[in-house]
Amino acid sequence: MTDPQTAAALAADRLSLVEEGTRHLLHTVSGLKPEAVAEPSALPGWTRGHVLAHVSRNADSLVNLLNGARTGTDIPQYPSSEVRDQGIEDGAPRPVDVQLADLRTSDERFAAAAALLPAEAWTADVRHRTGYVFPASDIPWKRLAEVEYHHVDLDAGYTPAHWPELFAVTEFRKLSARLAGADLPAVELVSDDTEDRAVIGTGTPALTVEGPVRALLAWLSGRSDGDGLRRAPDAALPQLPPMG
């Protein structure tokens, strides 16, 4: 188990990244035109309003986990899947200024809840809405992933090329490990700017894909078709579903 001081320091570093990423997201949303909320996002079936409502409600759901870690109680991330989904649907059609205010205040609630945790609480186990258990010190990274991935999903000018390098490298390693042994043709991935390498899929790789780590992560996370990545041999890449 990670000692409390190390866990608290890790959480603090990640909270700084969340603060920076949220600042960029708020800047993007503040520039949206009124009609943009009802326009399609990059996620199938979701408008930009759906994405924004989801990001706000995710912050509140992580407040529940932070409070559970602080008090030593098993507080569910969401009351139920139905409540989660309804919150997104209800929040999607709201005007841009309301969405922006909700993003800002939900982020403030998240930051305030995190600030209340003593060092030892960051080592507490909390439960993800899907059931798996993880340490509270991972909550800030989960929030960062929501902010960074869904900022791209807004399709409003923020692209994978804008992702912070630490985020891109960490998520590349995480997603490639998750897809190792997955039911898809084996592909060798080579990052030409960070020297990261990985193999996803099953079997011996017959295809090598090379490019910047951000572009590789965009494909791995289902936010790119791999256009611009170098392939040997020159073959089509499988389309991966959105992850993160």
Domain count for the chain? 2
Q: 129 with 84: CB under 8 angstroms?
A: yes
pLDDT for the residue numbered 117: 98
Q: 28 with 154: CB under 8 angstroms?
A: yes
Same domain? For 33 and 119 the reply is yes
pLDDT for the residue numbered 48: 98
130 belongs to a structural domain: yes
pLDDT for the residue numbered 1: 66
Residue whose token pair is 């959105």: 242
Residue whose token pair is 């929030």: 143
Exposure on the CB side of residue 6, measured as CA atoms within 13 A: 4
pLDDT for the residue numbered 234: 86
Same domain? For 31 and 148 the reply is yes
pLDDT for the residue numbered 2: 83
Which residues lie below 8 Å from residue 13, measured CB to CB, with a gap of 6+? Answer: none
Same domain? For 192 and 148 the reply is no
Q: 71 with 173: CB under 8 angstroms?
A: no
Domain membership of residue 65 as a residue range? 4-158
Same domain? For 115 and 151 the reply is yes
Instruction: Show the low-confidence residues of the chain (pLDDT under 70).
Output: 1
